[in-house]
Structure 1
Amino acid sequence: MRSNSLKSLAVGFSALAVTVGGFTGTASAGTTAPQPKLHWEVSAALDGQPGKAVRSGYPGGMNEAEFRFCSVPSHVSICNKASDHAKKALAEAQRRYSGSSLHNGRGDAFRHAYWNARMTKDMGAGTAKGFADRHEQTPGQPAIEKKMDLFNNDKGRSLDPKPSSYPDASERCSYKARHGQLRIIRNGRLVRS
């Protein structure tokens, strides 16, 4: 998990431009009604090649696995939800934690757990795991950071009993972060939060 992992996911979605066989916010040749639009900005056919997924000016954040998944029209609602949950998890982490804690510290651990708790509540554990696992396939991500993120993602998905609300999930993930139930990186080692 690079320092911009979930932050880039939340912000990076806004820079994504996708078109898949006329799958845009405007009607394409041969269609009469607008097609579903991604939550983030979607361009009309790019480079004159409808049907081809394209990233334009994409700064990072969504890796190839996520991009391929989100380029499938039937996955758009999942990607929109994951993006929304990532933004809200980031905002809550920034509200609760500060500074270096937001990179490989408690704030970061909380953010990953809370993002997955939110996705699980909204989409189910299997869908949340699929998206979160794809997010951790970022090339160049240090192995220890990937291990930390996968652990914390799992803790967020496996809250028991299931959270009754997003605020309940937030409180429970924060408790886990404060009481050593999540993982952080300290002095190059994976340790309890």
Structure 2
Amino acid sequence: MAELLRKPKTLQKARQEVLDVIGPQGEIKESDIDRLPYLGAIVKETLRLHPPAPLLLPYIAGNDVQVSGYTIHKGNQVLINAWSIGRNPKYWTDPLSFEPERFLASNLDYKGRDFEYIPFGAGRRICPGLPLAQRMVNLMLASILHSFNWKLPKGVTPENLDMTEQFGITLKKAVSLCAVPFVDERNGF
């Protein structure tokens, strides 16, 4: 929501997609999520910039191996920085900007097969909660976009919204988001 509130046109486009697919009086169901490609692209882009766990589970090398010119010896522990990979200009055009459109014409997915995009890990160490997260995050975002228009509180603009992150085992905003839901009387919803 913070990224969407920083880009009001993107927020309105996502909300319009939800309203077009569900209708203003409809009820969102899990089966509707596949019919919301822009919403899915928003979730993917958010996970690229703000992975739930910035450092993936440690891996202990079973054999000596060469990776990008570095030798990792058997028994050494390796930590993968998913946060840094998602912001690497080698893999992403304009990597620090929030652009969901980059995923609309892309086959990249967060199921661990595309190593430039691994917010949930990969291989045997992929997050076991991925299927639940995939369904619930999309469903929750669709629900809150469907129910209300959203704006920032008075005095906060998209340009001065604090997006500082607090690193730990998980990644979260250092300053909690405050968003104001409202009903747009002109449109009737």
Q: TM-score, normalised by structure 1?
A: 0.26
Quick one: higher RCO (CA 8 Å, sep 6+), 1 or 2?
2
Computing the radius of gyration from Cα coordinates, the structure with the larger value is 2
Q: Which has the higher helix share?
A: 1
Richer in strand (by share):
2
| TM-score, reference length from structure 2 | 0.27
